[in-house]
Amino acid sequence: GAGVSQSPRYKVAKRGQDVALRCDPISGHVSLFWYQQALGQGPEFLTYFQNEAQLDKSGLPSDRFFAERPEGSVSTLKIQRTQQEDSAVYLCASSLGRLLGAAYVLVFGPGTRLTVL
């Protein structure tokens, strides 16, 4: 597609509920990132994929967070037993290649706003 798309755009969950957030990166983009953005803050890194391989998941805040990209394209971020502190915008971004020192443009999706009641 023309850009990175995410669904749903908005999600309201009751505390303890599981949620799944989807990201469709730009076709052909090798790298895919997930970020968490709290209100009024900059995005915080969660995890990174190169094709189907999850190369860095050091930003995932707890073992309730799980991400996958099984075929190297669409990615899903799953949050189990959601807590109120999980409320944030979850941004997905993709780029053509690995960001190794080079200025690959990182293209962001519109984000999914998760509200946990």
State the residues that interact with other proteins by CB under 8 A: 4, 31, 33, 35, 40-45, 48, 55-56, 58-59, 91, 93, 98-103, 105-111, 113
Eight-state DSSP code of residue 16? T
CB burial string 78-98: b at 16+ within 10 A, e below: ebeebeeebbbbbbbbbbeee
CB of 88 to other proteins, least distance (A): 14
Neighbours of 21 (CB within 10 A): 20
Distance CA 48, CA 53 (A): 9
- Which C-beta is closer to other proteins: that of 10 or that of 117? 10
* Least spacing, CB of residue 12 vs other proteins, in Å: 16
Nearer to other proteins by Cβ, of 37 and 80: the residue is 37
- The encoded tokens of residue 71 equal 């075929």
Distance of closest approach, residue 82 Cβ to other proteins, in angstroms: 21
Least distance in Å: CB of 81 to other proteins?
26
